Amino acid sequence: MLKTKPIRWPAPAKLNLFLYINGQRDDKYHELQTLFQFIDLSDYLTITANLSGKITITPEIDGIPIEENLIYKAAIILKQYGDKNLGATIHLEKNLPMGGGLGGGSSDAATTLLALNYHWDINLTKNKLSQIGLSLGADLPIFIAGEASIAEGIGERLTSVLPIENHYLVAVPDCHISTPSVFQNKELIRNTSKRSLAQLMSQNWLNDCEPTVKNSYPKVAKVIDWLVEYAPTRLTGTGACVFSTFATAQEAKVVLDKSPQWLTIFSCKGLNVSPVNGLLSTLK
């Protein structure tokens, strides 16, 4: 039965607490080992289902045709599993920086799949939704699973873990980084040995993309160089965002209060369970 009541759905950001590149496959995709954890900052999608057969998204994003919008793509793909008359209006509150390595676009698309699966009463399993999501981006399965996880392969093999839910400062350098350009860079580290789960969870964490990104983007290097004086600091994903780790919110605030005017920065907390999971549990 179609569920037409409007619901405001969160689409949380993520951090890559570490990122190791284990090699490049024949199909040009890279084998990875990375640890995803959510943070308590989200985009929001207010979704109203209807039987218009149309997907309407507001507001329009400058420079991105609706056909290239991941939210639209997710809705169109899912619609194939239901009636052709299924439609929805989707209003996006965009809080996450685009191209920052926080997974905003992937999270928006994953929330779209989870939400419309509910609104349209299609009732696909999360495993099936993850398969659909993987066709849109390697990060989508983690957002659909909704649990902090180590991802392997190209991101599709997930193992749930419980890292410490630390407090973070996340800095947003004034630049946009193309993920393909990072992975195409000849200087990128691509030969990190695969590690066991125990090794991954116990060793000092690194991001193999960070040296390449710092060399190519001086603004990112400047942010890391400032923050690392106060706390362990790393790139998340392929950037551009950078995060520093603190045990308490107060420790993070002390550094936040010292941040220079040229630095865009916010505080947040790690979450091992996505707020989408919490919302879905109340709707069953």
What's the rounded Cα separation, in Å, for the pair 213 and 236?
11
Under 8 Å between Cβ of 103 and 13: yes
pLDDT in tens, the chain (284 residues): 999 999 999 999 999 999 999 998 888 788 999 999 999 999 999 999 999 999 999 998 888 899 999 999 999 999 999 999 999 999 999 999 877 889 999 999 999 999 999 999 999 999 999 999 999 988 899 999 999 999 999 888 999 999 999 999 999 999 989 888 999 999 999 999 999 999 999 879 999 999 999 999 999 999 999 999 999 999 999 989 999 999 999 999 999 999 999 999 999 999 999 999 999 999 97
Strand bridging mode 55-58 / 87-93 = parallel
The four Cα atoms 166, 272, 21, 141 give a dihedral, to 10 degrees, of: -150
Is 14 a catalytic site residue?
A: yes
253 among known catalytic residues = no
Report whether 130 contacts 156 (CB < 8 A): yes
* Closest C-alpha to 274, from 130, 153, 148: 148
The one catalytic residue in 14, 73, 79, 214 is: 14
- Each domain of the chain, given as residue ranges in start order, spans 7-162+274-283, 167-271
Choosing from 43, 79, 108, 139, the catalytic residue is 139
Per-residue model confidence as pLDDT tens digits over 42-88: 999 999 999 999 999 999 888 889 999 999 999 999 999 999 999 99
Per CATH, 7-162+274-283 and 167-271 having the same topology is answered no
CATH number, domain 7-162+274-283:
3.30.230.10
CATH for 167-271 is 3.30.70.890
